[in-house]
Amino acid sequence: MSTIDKPLDADDLLILAERVAELPSSDAEWVERLLQELLRARAAEAELLVQQAGKRDEGASGEGEFDGRMAQLALDTAEWLRTLWDVGYMGAGSFRSQPRSAFPRIDLEDVRRSSLFARIRQGKHALPFPPPTRHGLPWHELLENTTSSYQVSAEIIRDEAGLALGAIIEGCSDWQIIEEVADLQECVVQHQGKGPRFRLRPLDDLSAELRRELPSLTRKIHLQRRAGFASYSLEWPQDDGRPQFVALRAATPERARSEAEHWLATARPDLYGQVCFEIGED
């Protein structure tokens, strides 16, 4: 068997993964996505082999099925660790190192408490930036729930002239004041300049209502049908006004919107949650 025909083992894949960082940025993204897809295909292959082995021997001990679960767990763990390295975000209220400086020390309690790891295990995308926190814990629900309002503890920080400088919401001091509506005594706030914008309406001296603002922008997702297959691409205007078409890994409208949101979170985190996606067939 030649070198080309021989399947790559785990060590070879690890070496390839490490070399992705040496590629130009224009190539690193798609090579990393291709490598991730390869790893997922390997996991799917392992699960298929497990199912076939189970059919051949129903009285087996179940070790093969365990191997399949462990393969998926390994992939999810790799995604979690990659996010820790790229973003410096553990998802358990712990920020022990800056991104790309020193790898964070991980304890068993970090694994148990990490909402980021739990999110990845549920098949959801990891946000490329830390979400707001509520009493020190990541508040993913606030970013994903587009209709609910929340009663929160909130304080507006002002300077000596009364100008709003920022806000402390649910113990998190990283909220920025985007706009203050003087007549209504309301503020439009955003967490660290990334993600959705929210309207903060005081209820009394200690509490306020936090409601997500409706999307202010609309972008089109193109649906194309070829030979019985459907493909989706997001049309996004570049700085020079020319349209950019981003291929979305999706087979359904719902998944297309989810992939578009994930691309937006990565490419334009300042607009994440502020764009409405409309699907149109070409």
Residue where one domain finishes, among candidates 179, 212, 245: 212
Q: What string of pLDDT tens digits covers the 282 residues of the chain? A: 455 556 666 666 666 666 766 777 777 777 777 777 777 777 777 677 666 666 655 544 444 444 556 666 676 677 667 666 666 665 544 555 555 556 666 667 777 777 667 766 766 667 778 889 998 888 888 988 888 899 999 999 888 888 888 999 999 999 999 998 876 679 999 999 999 999 999 898 889 999 999 999 999 999 998 877 788 999 999 989 899 999 998 888 888 898 899 899 889 999 999 999 999 987
Same domain for 69 and 83, yes or no, is yes
Per the structure, how many domains does the chain have? Answer: 3
pLDDT value at residue 174: 93
Same domain for 199 and 223, yes or no, is no
pLDDT value at residue 226: 80
CB atoms within 10 A of CB 85: 14
Q: What angle do CA 173, 179, 180 make, to 5 degrees?
A: 90
Residue pair 271/215 in contact by the 8 Å Cβ criterion: no
1, part of any domain: no
What domain range includes position 145?
140-212
Length of the chain: 282
Angstrom distance (rounded) from CA 164 to CA 189? 11
Same domain for 148 and 114, yes or no, is no
134, part of any domain: no
Q: Which helix (H) or strand (E) holds 189?
A: strand 186-191
Same domain for 227 and 273, yes or no, is yes
pLDDT value at residue 117: 74
pLDDT value at residue 14: 63
Q: What is the pTM of this model?
A: 0.58
185, part of any domain: yes
Residue where one domain finishes, among candidates 178, 194, 212: 212
pLDDT value at residue 60: 47
Same domain for 43 and 88, yes or no, is yes
pLDDT value at residue 28: 73
Same domain for 262 and 180, yes or no, is no
Torsion region of 46: left, alpha or beta (phi above 0 gives left; psi -120 to 50 gives alpha): alpha
4, part of any domain: no
Q: Which helix (H) or strand (E) holds 3?
A: none
Reduced to 3 states (helix: H, G, I; strand: E, B; else coil), residue 117 is helix
135, part of any domain: no
pLDDT value at residue 66: 46
Reduced to 3 states (helix: H, G, I; strand: E, B; else coil), residue 24 is coil
